[in-house]
Chain A
């Protein structure tokens, strides 16, 4: 079933390439709806949501036996939610592009569907190399989409996007290979029993992470380095503060659907990778470097927010707001507690919905006016009331107005960061460079204010105020696609599911949160129980003393799960 989720869109993409171009839209719609349908079947009938922390629907095919690399798939509830986001956005992407893409439609829809399949593959993968293959393969379709269908500076943007992410993920690959080598060596030396030889399976690597250094696990300083290598690729993808420079360019130049899919799903590949690899496989590294990453996230939140404030290009503004928002997401992850993790995963979905919708709205205006400049647009509420209502709605969702989706997750990320030190109790231990704490939450909360400022400023300029339209272009008399002044039924139909989802997740996030509870708690417990290996020196006779000397604070709930790695 999971393979179907990946293969269906890719096969339909190939079909588009072979069929006449008049059929491209139709095949695209059918392909994405089928993917959504398959997802719904899995979600409703096959996936047991009450066992969300378990990997379910596992399937494995051999691929490269010499490396122990397998085409191995499986999902837990986090992967399911993100898959759901991917499948949900699929038809929206295709339908929203009907009027925007007129040249070479076949290539466009074909790559879009291939991208859908590749993204589903990332979330389904249970083998580090398979994950990497899909993670990298998403670059090609998006590269093509941006460089063929983007705006004026598209080629530079696409190249920058490709090179940044490719470079980052190579370093991640080196980290993954190092992990697997460590695992293979330890098994070969008989340090612990495990599948012989090389394996790249998540399960093996996750159980390696739970081993104490004197039992063959990685000592803290090695894990820190591996963590640093792993996070580079994901930090570029997210993007985390110093690596973010490719994103505004790529977003601005990409075609509308490209921006939507980039903000909606592709950035989440980074946070999802952080969750799976950085937290799941190098928990000690995560503990050691959590404050550093959190500081980068907070810098990103505030700095990108301030940059948003001075943008005159609406699309660029929303692009920078992605950097800011994803900062909250990363902050929640590295709070390393259940609330922060749940909030972070929920944020991934919420950001996909509301920012995706904002990009769609901007695209719709761009199709009518061929400009995105705030200087040339204003008071559109008078001209396009329906558009403006949606704009205000999604802007509020993005700001985090209580009652809409953004609020819940933003609050949870902050709460997670706030409680981070307190919950574990390790903040008090001398010498533990510990976790986050109230200060982190306080600084990150500054970002909320900035967000409110720039979004309201943008809405105020574009939606309210005096009517301003670019010269020579009045919405009624524009040329190419015979679009009405305000939104047409197709565009409204695209936006309504997003709006409903935003409202639902804002008012009643409980089912989603409940499904997230088990896996995030398991992850928090895993990280916490790894903490006691922090001070264990590698292979040393004195480990018995060392193990309980520095911490001395027993954390009872953790020992049960040790080494299982679900």
Chain B
């Protein structure tokens, strides 16, 4: 119990910060309200340090996952917090500055920041989940706050519409994976992931998983496709990203996706991977999902005129790439004796790619967040149309450079971070002998080159268009957004050489996979002790 509690220190820290932020946001003094982002960042940093130092308590087949994932969440979370700083209550705060009286009922600052931190807490809980119910609650804790954040992110009706759409489809997704979880429980007789893994291992040794277990896993995957924005649950993505403000859209691109992938890894780790591959029906499902997601995302991104929609489809496509990593599995196809490294372990590749994608995509959204104009109704309007980016080099050179770097980073052009991230996906998929999938991945990257290149060409090479209907874009006054953009661009370059390899090594440890052994003679033991598990990558406990 105490060990379990100790493993939750990062979440507890974040929760305390959440409460503090909620109160602080209601303070009538503007100076105190403005402390919210700083406090949130401090909480995230502290939680990240705690996540690095506390021993993970999970006994799932992926025991080191919480440590990596929580640190990742804290790191990218800081970037997101910088990006979100100053977005809440912008119009209202400006009114207060002009002399309006503070009304706690109208202020959203506290709720906004506490919702953000709730979502991050949920994400960390998700990483530490060792039980299906816990996992479900954590997934919902990730998503529920984001529905509200989308709704309040701008003052427009479009945001509210996006939030409603997001909410209903989110509920549908949750229903589907909850149904899947229930079937898994029905097949395994337990909600504990370690027990499920043992039972499944036993069943697989005795002739394969039953239809209920297979159905449960498949339904869970389909439901989680909503979180990761994968086909067939991807339809909401462009509308919601476009309806939300750019900082919130950046958060949607990273937070639910990370939660979804962690959940997928946790569930698939419960299945034994005979010969390094999933049981056939599940394998076929993930294969089809990966191919469709990549292709749909990339092809539809070609047609977009809105930068946010383009990035939304790019987000879908990246989920497809990561599904390739999921399919490559924990890297057991290697001959016995070889350690699973990030070069062969698809799980490690996915975990590392989440980091790479998070860093690169935040940069692109941050540029959109930084550029805005005042629309006729007084609300600031972010750059969204691709024409807004035309000739950015002339007007805002640093933003243009960030956009170009992010686009090249997302494309995976060497020597940027995106390339270092995509390489493990390639190597692990080839190690799993998924040659056709690798070719499809390569062709999809080529399709993607088309629209990322257009982003680069628009920002760097074109001349700005002056239209009377289109007032000039100005830099948003929030310095946090600019900082986030510049940090992300720096990360895209620097992490490719310094730090990135170490993070890849960390992801490799995070994906340490300890399959459950089959106990001969006795029925499935409830909990495996580490002694009878076979370590795949050595790690000091």
Contacts and interface: CB of A to CB of B under 8 A. Distances in A.
Interface in A174-194: 174, 177-178, 180-181, 184-185, 188-189
Given A63-B497, A166-B449, A133 B414 contact: yes
A66 B446 contact: no
Contacts of B508: 66
Contacts of A67: 341-343, 423-424, 427
Interface stretch (A27-35, A140-148, A289-297): A140-148
A158 B460 CA distance: 13
A68 B439 CA distance: 23
17 contacts: A64-B420, A65-B505, A66-B343, A66-B504, A129-B423, A133-B415, A140-B408, A155-B457, A155-B461, A166-B413, A166-B446, A174-B439, A185-B431, A189-B335, A198-B341, A198-B343, A198-B427
Given A140-B413, A166-B449, A188-B337, A63 B501 contact: yes
A155 B449 CA distance: 15
Given A166-B446, A174-B438, A136 B497 contact: no
A338 B408 CA distance: 41
B341 A197 contact: yes
B89 to A, nearest CB: 40
A501 B356 CA distance: 48
B453 A159 contact: yes
Given A133-B419, A159-B457, A162-B449, A173 B501 contact: no
A428 interface: no
Contact of A178 (B430, B446, B500): B430
A556 B504 CA distance: 48
B435 interface: yes
A476 interface: no
A432 interface: no
A178 B435 contact: yes
A171 B457 contact: no
A496 interface: no
A188 B338 contact: yes
A198 B344 CA distance: 9
A137 interface: yes
Nearest to B501: A64
A549 interface: no
Contacts of B168: none
A177 B414 contact: no
A186 B209 CA distance: 32
A170 B460 contact: no
Given A136-B414, A137-B415, 6 more contacts: A65-B505, A66-B341, A136-B413, A144-B460, A166-B449, A181-B427
B443 interface: yes
A163 B449 contact: yes
A173 B430 CA distance: 11
Interface in B497-541: 497, 500-501, 504-505, 508
A53 B343 CA distance: 32
Given A63-B497, A137-B415, A170 B442 contact: yes
B501 A65 contact: yes
B483 interface: no
Most chain A CB atoms below 10 A, which of B414, B423, B426, B505: B414
Interface residues of A, number: 38
A167 interface: yes
Nearest to B337: A188
A162 B457 CA distance: 12
A132 interface: yes
Nearest to A67: B343
B445 interface: yes
A198 B431 CA distance: 11
Given A144-B460, A159-B457, A171-B442, A184 B435 contact: no
B356 to A, nearest CB: 13
B367 to A, nearest CB: 19
B453 A174 contact: no
Contacts of A65: 501, 505
Nearest to A168: B446
B442 A174 contact: yes
B405 to A, nearest CB: 11
B461 A147 contact: yes
Q: Which A-B residue pairs are the 6 nearest by beta carbons?
A: A167-B446, A188-B338, A133-B414, A170-B442, A189-B335, A198-B343
Nearest to B426: A177
A181 B335 CA distance: 12
A376 to B, nearest CB: 29
Given A66-B342, A177-B430, A181-B430, A137 B414 contact: yes
Contacts of B504: 64, 66
B334 interface: yes
A64 B445 CA distance: 22
Given A66-B508, A140-B408, A189-B335, A180 B427 contact: yes
A277 to B, nearest CB: 16
A66 B335 contact: no
B208 to A, nearest CB: 27
A171 B441 CA distance: 10
A185 B334 contact: yes
A148 B450 contact: no
A66 B501 contact: yes
B150 to A, nearest CB: 35
B415 A197 contact: no
A53 B303 CA distance: 51
Interface string B478-503: 00000000000000000001001100
Most chain B CB atoms below 10 A, which of A67, A180, A198: A67
A163 B508 CA distance: 33
Contacts of B443: 167, 170
Contacts of A184: 334, 338, 343-344, 431
Contacts of A162: 449, 453
Most chain A CB atoms below 10 A, which of B420, B424, B442, B497: B442
Contact of B445 (A63, A144, A170, A177): A170
Given A136-B414, A170-B445, A147 B427 contact: no
Nearest to A167: B446
A170 B446 contact: yes
Contacts of B408: 140
Contacts of B335: 185, 188-189
A163 B460 contact: no
Interface in A223-268: none
Contacts of A197: 338-339, 341, 343
Contacts of A155: 457, 461
Nearest to B448: A166
B346 to A, nearest CB: 13
Contacts of B442: 167, 170-171, 173-174
Contacts of A159: 450, 453, 457
Contacts of B446: 163, 166-167, 170
B460 to A, nearest CB: 7
Interface string A414-451: 00000000000000000000000000000000000000
Given A174-B430, A197-B343, A66 B435 contact: no
A163 B450 contact: yes
Interface in B391-437: 408, 413-415, 419-420, 423-424, 426-427, 430-431, 435
A177 B432 CA distance: 12
